[in-house]
Amino acid sequence: MTMILSNAAELAWGHTKFSRHAKRIKVSGSATLHAEVKDHRGHYHHSSLELHQRIFNKNGRLVYKH
């Protein structure tokens, strides 16, 4: 997971700037990423995503497939 995040300039997740607006990031098992992500009003909320085939690299950014 560290390699995935460090090899990308930015992880785009839920229309946020993940690298700047996420906190308390952790991985459970081997395939679920959890974080608290700031919304457009500046409030943090819990979010998680399954990593298996749900993110891809697009122009140096890891982008979550909706």
- The pLDDT tens digits for 43-64 are 888 888 776 655 666 666 666 6
Look at phi and psi of residue 36 and say left if phi exceeds 0, alpha if psi is from -120 to 50, else beta.
beta
pTM recorded for the entire structure:
0.49
- The pLDDT tens digits for 3-48 are 455 555 455 555 556 666 677 777 777 677 788 878 778 888 888 8
- The DSSP-derived string for 12-55 is EETTEEHHHHEEEEEEETTTEEEEEEE-TTS-EEEEEEE-TTTE
Structural domains in the chain (count): 1
Residues sharing a CB contact under 8 Å with residue 28, sequence separation 6 or more, in sequence order: 34
Q: What is the CATH number of the domain that holds 42?
A: 2.30.60.10
User: Which range of residues forms the domain containing residue 29?
Assistant: 2-64
